[in-house]
């Protein structure tokens, strides 16, 4: 993947990548904060992303969490000539249902290695 629109920083890459991603667009995910220390993404409530009634599907929440830590990993990174990345592992604990609410994903880098980046992500209602 080449740099979209001539972006120079990881945060700029994410600012251009997220709205261009068909999956992020399907979920309505938008970036609210993209800086080196913390990122915040918002997923608006959409009745097509529920399991039953008004409960947001866990898969939609997991997708927001994955996009959030991806954005955190890139926001403070040096941008290579060729962009690539993959989620290698992710564990989640759902503490309460999200019902009829927008969700906020907050992501932080815990450790930046040469290639792997360990992140922490949390999703909560607004």
**Model confidence, pTM:** 0.91
Convert the pLDDT of each residue in 55-101 to its tens digit: 999 999 999 999 999 999 999 888 877 777 889 999 999 999 999 99
> Domain boundaries in the chain?
4-125
Give me the residues paired with residue 106 across strands: 40, 122
Which of these, 82, 78, 62, lies nearest to 112 by C-alpha position?
78
Cα separation, 110 vs 40, in Å, equals 16
Question: Does domain 4-125 fall into CATH 3.10.129.10?
Answer: yes
Convert the pLDDT of each residue in 19-39 to its tens digit: 999 999 999 999 999 987 799
Give me the residues paired with residue 30 across strands: 42
CA torsion sign, 47 to 95 to 104 to 88? negative
Cα separation, 31 vs 28, in Å, equals 10
Structure confidence at residue 80 (pLDDT)? 79
Structure confidence at residue 21 (pLDDT)? 95
């Amino acid at each position: 993947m080449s740099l979209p629109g001539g972006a120079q920083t990881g945060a700029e890459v994410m600012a251009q990548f997220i709205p261009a991603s068909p999956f992020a667009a399907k979920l309505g995910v938008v970036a609210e904060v993209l800086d080196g220390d913390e990122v915040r993404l918002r997923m608006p409530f959409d009745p097509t992303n529920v399991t039953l009634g008004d409960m947001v599907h866990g898969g939609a929440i997991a997708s927001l969490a994955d996009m959030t830590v991806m954005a955190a990993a890139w926001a403070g990174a040096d941008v290579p000539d060729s962009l690539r990345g993959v989620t290698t592992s992710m564990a989640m604990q759902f503490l309460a249902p999200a019902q009829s609410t927008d969700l906020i994903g907050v992501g932080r880098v815990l450790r930046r290695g040469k290639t792997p980046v360990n992140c922490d992500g949390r999703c909560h209602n607004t």
